[in-house]
Amino acid sequence: MRVGILTSGGDCQALNATMRGLAKTLYQQKKDIEIIGFLDGYKGLMYENYRIMKPEDFEDILNLGGTILGTSRCPFKKMRVIENGFDKVAAMKKTYQKLKLDCLAILGGNGSLKTANLLSQEGLNVIGLPKTIDNDTWGTDYTFGFQSAIDIATRYLDEIQTTAASHSRVFVVEIMGHKVGHICLSAGIAAGADIILLPEIPYDIEVVAGEIEKKVKAGKKHIVIACAEGAISKEESLLSKKQYKLKVATREGHSVVYEIANKLSHYIDKEIRVSCAGHAQRGGQPCAYDREISTLFGIEGAKLIMNKDFGKLVVFVNHRLDAIPLEETAGKLKYVDVQGDTVKNAKLMGISFGDEMT
């Protein structure tokens, strides 16, 4: 049996751990297994850039961050698959057929899983494994990489807390997460942020400023705002998609935190600083939880392959691993549940989300 494997999209800490779980299970259970690793994501499949893997390639990589195969952003924007006469899907199908693959395992986030679904609909045997620090893949409670990113973002905020305290400053700290606020919400609570700004809860700058003043009056000398990179104001939430994109593209440093800090400076009389946790949130070793869950994700992926149960994405729902059709998840995002207990309870203890006075 010949299985292709690739990692696509932004990397995360547990890609190698997942591939190891999948490969070790296949080598263990099937004597005739051959694994082909495509380099740099879908590009490797498109341009026939691959390595024939050996069992030892998957040794000693459980706690290794990044991806031994390399990755790249998904090649399709709005499903525009033919560029300058080059048919990307046809090229990928050709490689798949030429190498006589029985299946392709794709480790990717939302964009990559959309492409995985497209390839599946084109008749390739595909399985998906949900990778992203953002935890925004629809249909699964967990995507591997998420907890490692939370841990790093939390430590980053911890460090900001001490310098903010020494100088009695307000800090606006950017946390990754693309269009959703899962990392920011978890790390913000874990690091004791005073204010958490999420894309799912448009903020009102006057409310944010009012909350800072209230907390300062109550004795707080420094304020830490955990701000998701996709956080939006009430005004921005009313813009069309096109207007919003233009606004984001022309922001200072393309980051919302500078804008928020600047707006706040007109309302509050305290020193304000910004800081970005950045790509470190995707880097380094996976945490223990990600090593464990990724290994289990990988094993579950291998089971789908051995059972020839293709066109599926491995998911983790209610603490159980399962699989759902790729077409169910393709193109959908999982947002923070703003009516859920986490947000509601955080508000009860005085964490502000910038939408209403606490």
| Alpha carbon distance 232, 71 (integer Å) | 30
**C-beta of 178 vs 303, nearer to ligand F6P:** 178
Phi-psi region of 264 (alpha: psi -120 to 50; beta: other; left: phi over 0): alpha
Smallest separation (angstroms) from ligand F6P to the CB of 12: 7
How many CA within 13 A on the CB side of residue 193? 33
Q: Cα–Cα distance between 234 and 99 in angstroms, integer?
A: 52
- In the chain, what are the helix, strand and coil shares in percent, each to the nearest 5? 40, 20, 40
Closest approach of Cβ 335 to ligand F6P, in Å?
A: 14
Q: What angle do CA 288, 312, 120 make, to 5 degrees?
A: 125
Q: Exposure string (b/e) for 92-122, b if CB count within 10 Å is 16 or more?
A: bbebbeebebebbbbbbbbbbbbbbbbbbee
Nearer to ligand F6P, 147 or 352 (CB): 147
CB of 8 to ligand F6P, least distance (A): 11
Q: Report the phi/psi class of residue 36: left, alpha or beta, with left for phi > 0 and alpha for psi in -120 to 50.
A: beta
Q: Which is nearer to ligand F6P, 23 or 315 (CB)?
A: 315
- Please indicate whether residue 134 is annotated as part of the active site: yes
Nearer to ligand F6P, 10 or 301 (CB): 10
Q: What is the DSSP string of 287-314?
A: PHHHHHHHHHHHHHHHHHHHTT--SEEE
- Selecting among 40, 134, 136, 290, the annotated active-site residue is 134
CA 30 distance to own-chain centroid? 32
| Alpha carbons 180 and 186: distance in angstroms, whole number | 12
Beta carbon of residue 145, minimum distance to ligand F6P (angstroms, whole number): 8
- What is the spatial distance between Cα 36 and Cα 4, in angstroms, rounded to a whole number? 5
- 323: Cα separation from own chain's centroid: 19
Q: How far is the CB of 321 from ligand F6P (least distance, A)?
A: 22
Measured from the CB of residue 251, what is the shortest distance to ligand F6P in angstroms?
14
Q: Shortest gap between Cβ of 91 and ligand F6P (angstroms)?
A: 23
CA distance 158 to 187: 10
Using CB under 6 A, list all residues that contact ligand F6P. Answer: 10, 73, 109, 132-134, 176-178, 229, 282
Active site residues: 134
